[in-house]
Amino acid sequence: MLNISGLQEGVVLDHIQAGKSLDIYYHLGLDRLTDCQVAIIKNARSNKMGRKDIIKVEGPIDNIDLDVLGYIDHNITVNVIRDNKITEKKALKLPKKITNVIRCKNPRCITSIEQELPHIFYLADEKTETYRCMYCEEKYGKSK
Ligand SMILES: [Zn+2]
């Protein structure tokens, strides 16, 4: 049973691969949340995974970009907490489109020239988790 004590309303990200919690913390921009508590638990014991990381974020689910999270690792469990209870578990999936999460590395891509353009990638192949740049089709394979 996940210990959610001290969290009246919030989100618990469970089953994060051990060692990945800080990456996720920064990718989700949790360092920019100034008025809610964030707790990171590293190397928690897990029956399923051996060791895992957990992130607890106080406040509404809107604080978390589920597309970004789904892109990073869709095996993470998202628990929504209300009144000290888990009220909902959300399943993550690979997002169809991601904006400003990864950057196109093609030097001839328009995003290299026009700095203000958002970096938009779309899911080109779900099996291999391959994304392609919306502008130049440059491939971005997820390293696993
Ligand atoms: Zn590109």
Q: At residue 24, does pLDDT exceed 90?
A: yes
Domains 9-90 and 97-141 share a fold: no
Q: How far apart are CA 96 and CA 106, in angstroms?
A: 21
Average pLDDT, the chain: 90
Q: Are 89 and 82 in contact, with CB atoms under 8 Å apart?
A: no
Q: CB neighbours (10 Å) of residue 47?
A: 6
Yes or no: say if 73 and 46 are a contact pair by the CB < 8 Å rule: no
Q: What is the pLDDT of residues 53-96, one digit of tens each?
A: 999 999 888 889 999 999 999 999 999 999 888 999 998 999 99
Residue 109 CB contacts under 8 Å (≥ 6 apart), including other chains: 133, 135, 136, 138
22 φ, ψ (degrees, to nearest 5): -70, -40
130 alpha carbon – ligand 1 mean position (Å): 14
Query: What is residue 3's predicted lDDT score, i.e. its pLDDT?
Result: 59
Cα–ligand 1 centroid distance for 132 (angstroms):
8
Domain ranges, ordered by start, for the chain: 9-90, 97-141
pLDDT for 99 beyond 80: yes
**Ligand 1: centre distance to CA 36 (Å):** 36
Q: Could you tell me the distance, in angstroms and rounded to a whole number, from the CA of residue 112 to the centre of ligand 1?
A: 8
Q: DSSP assignment, residue 63?
A: G
CA of 78 to the centre of ligand 1 (A): 31
For 105, the token pair is: 């590395």
pLDDT at 127 over 70: yes
What distance in angstroms lies between residue 105's CA and the mean position of ligand 1's atoms? 7
In 3D space, the residue among 47, 35, 43, 39 whose CA is nearest the CA of residue 16 turns out to be: 43
As a CATH number, domain 97-141 is 2.30.30.20
Q: Tell the CATH topology of 9-90.
A: Alpha-Beta Plaits (3.30.70)
Gap from CA of 27 to ligand 1 centroid (Å): 20
The per-residue pLDDT for 143 is: 54
- Checking if the pLDDT of 1 tops 60, the result is no
Ligand 1 centre and the CA of 12: distance in Å? 34
pLDDT tier at 144 (50, 70, 90 boundaries)? very low
Q: Ligand 1 is a single-atom ion; what residues have CB below 5 A from it?
A: 104, 106, 109, 133, 135-136, 138
| CA 103, chain centre distance (Å) | 16
